[in-house]
Amino acid sequence: MTQALRKPARKNPVARTRQPTRPPTARSRRAQGLTAAAALGRFDLQVCQQCNAVQYPPRELCTQCLSDDLRWQAVDPLGTLLVSTTLHHSNDLFFRERLPWRIGTVRMSAGPSVLAHVHGDCNDGDTVRLSLRLDRSGQAVMLALPKEATPNMQDDKILRETHCDPKFRRVLVTDGKSAIGLAVIRALLEAEVGAVFAGDAETWRKVPAFDALCGDDRVHVQDLNVSDSDSVERISRSIGGKVDIVVNTAGYERDGGVLFSRDTNKARDAMDINCLGLLRLAQHFGPGMAARAADGVNNAVAWVNVLSIYAHMNLPSRGVWSASQAAALSVAQCLRNEFLQSGVRVINVFPGPVDHEWEQLTPPPRVAPAAIAAAIVRALQEGTEDVYVGDVAKEFLARLRDNPKGLERELL
């Protein structure tokens, strides 16, 4: 049984900081299909459409009938752990710092045999559940997990290296007074977070729910305004070296398109908070997180952006806001690429219409802030990259793959 993770002691200030390294990154173009599935928390493999043979590793032609009609689709993740071994030596810099490391061979119920990283609660001969996870290089790897959940399962060393569990970590929530920010703080406290730095850009505005959350000793209020460079710089100098996870909940949402509005103030505010706010946060908090990405049990691990499904497709009734979301998504994609060298994961959350004050006239279904918060914590615990929350967002995702032009016309 996995030993429960203990809250780490304060770091010795003269102890060395372990430098970020990455596991091997070489993958074929076909193998990027595994990465795409892992980013969404799916278990997809290539399946031949002629003979239904499941393929692993990814390839160009079916091993059974040589057909090239191989499609990525969900398959049975169960299998039998045939044999495992524990490595005590490695020439790779990433694994050398993390030895001992367990690997094993799993024969899948779907057919192929795979080499996987093995959870400590799995024994040879057991039925295990395979999972696709993103490693520190952003590439997909196979994990063999117990078929049923076990005590302290998330505290296993291998899982801790492939996900961003907030347990005992210190998290910055950039806007703690928003509906989503309040829900995120509650969810993080339930996930046994070490500390929450709650941003408060409107100290004059009283929010009883926020004041109640601040009664918890783990919540520390910060006078943070993402549209003010001086504020972001001042807070980063104060707590930047302590932040393990950033959850950017700051946002500006207003109605209005482009053609019949000559007032650019709303557009300026939307861009300043939704896009440039993210840019300011990244420039001031990002370098410190990148430097601490391998620093012990509670290393810096993740950057979470709460965006909108309309970052992918403009909603004309809120065209300027949608444009600011698209700009923020572009910044987040750049940030993800720049964080690759250190291994800090960038998680983008795309909810549909949210059930809060700026969506009063939007008909159901709307996404509850608590559902978004739960999805964020789940994404951190499972190590996924892109999260679509709510029926509208999931339908958008399916239709963007199937007929994006049709979706664009229906939003007019």
3-state secondary structure at position 16? coil
Question: 359 with 353: CB under 8 angstroms?
Answer: yes
Look at the chain and count its residues: 412
pLDDT tier at 226, thresholds 50, 70, 90: very high
Instruction: At 95, list the tokens.
Output: 């694994």
In this prediction, residue 201 carries a pLDDT of: 92
Strand order in the sheet with 70-74: 54-55, 44-48, 70-74
**Cα separation, 100 vs 346, whole angstroms:** 28
Opening angle at CA 304, ends 197 and 232, nearest 5: 50
Residues of the chain with CATH 3.40.50.720: 170-410
Question: 96 with 90: CB under 8 angstroms?
Answer: yes
Question: 170 with 302: CB under 8 angstroms?
Answer: no
Per DSSP, the residues of 285-342 read HHHHHHHTTTSSTT---EEEEE--GGGTS--GGGHHHHHHHHHHHHHHHHHHHHHTTT
Could you report the per-residue pLDDT of 288-342, keeping only the tens digit for each?
A: 999 998 887 788 999 999 999 999 999 998 999 999 999 999 999 999 999 998 9
Could you report the per-residue pLDDT of 112-165, keeping only the tens digit for each?
A: 999 999 999 999 999 999 999 999 899 999 999 999 989 988 888 888 888 899
Specify the DSSP class assigned to residue 9. P
Q: Where are the beta strands (DSSP E) in 227-301?
A: 245-248
Average pLDDT over residues 386-399: 93
Question: 197 with 171: CB under 8 angstroms?
Answer: yes
Residue 262 has pLDDT above 80, yes or no: no
Residue 221's CB is within 10 A of a number of other CB atoms, namely 17
Q: Where are the beta strands (DSSP E) in 135-218?
A: 140-146, 170-173, 195-199
Kindly indicate whether the domain formed by 32-162 is annotated with CATH number 2.40.50.840: yes
Which residue carries 């039925």 as its tokens?
127
Residues of the chain with CATH 2.40.50.840: 32-162
Kindly indicate whether the domain formed by 170-410 is annotated with CATH number 3.40.50.720: yes
